[in-house]
Amino acid sequence: MRTAPTWMRTIALVALAAALATALRLLVIEEPEFAWVCQSAAPPWWCPLRADMIALLQGGSLGFIALAVGLLAMARGCVTAARLALVTGTAGLVLYLPEPAAGGALMGALVMLRR
């Protein structure tokens, strides 16, 4: 049995990251019913987790992770780091901090193209 080429696996991972990040954004973060429930007098147990996740994402964690991993991939020429930069950069583009996420994804793509 043959495995798919590296570029096909990378595209599949990037598409999966984009789909999961979009689902997280639309179904958990921007869902108005969840915000209303969490503002009630007795919010459910998961409301603090949701609030912490939103604060972490809006703080730009994925974008800066993508940028750091992209720099690592450029410095070392590591394909695994380049894939991780592409995946986290794609998720970061969807989840509220596009500038560093785009930089990380671009660096990962450049390393992948050089290989």
Per-residue pLDDT of 50-88, as tens digits, reads: 999 889 888 888 899 999 999 999 999 999 999 999 999
Sign of the dihedral defined by the CA atoms of residues 100, 105, 110, 112, in that order: positive
pLDDT confidence tier of residue 1, bands split at 50, 70 and 90: low
Cβ-contact 11, 24 below 8 angstroms = no
Cβ-contact 107, 75 below 8 angstroms = no
Per-residue pLDDT of 15-53, as tens digits, reads: 999 999 999 999 888 888 988 998 888 899 999 999 998
The number of beta carbons lying within 10 Å of the beta carbon of residue 44 is: 12
Is the pLDDT confidence value at 102 over 70?
A: yes
Residues 21 and 29: their CA atoms lie apart, in Å, by 10
**Predicted pLDDT of residue 67:** 95
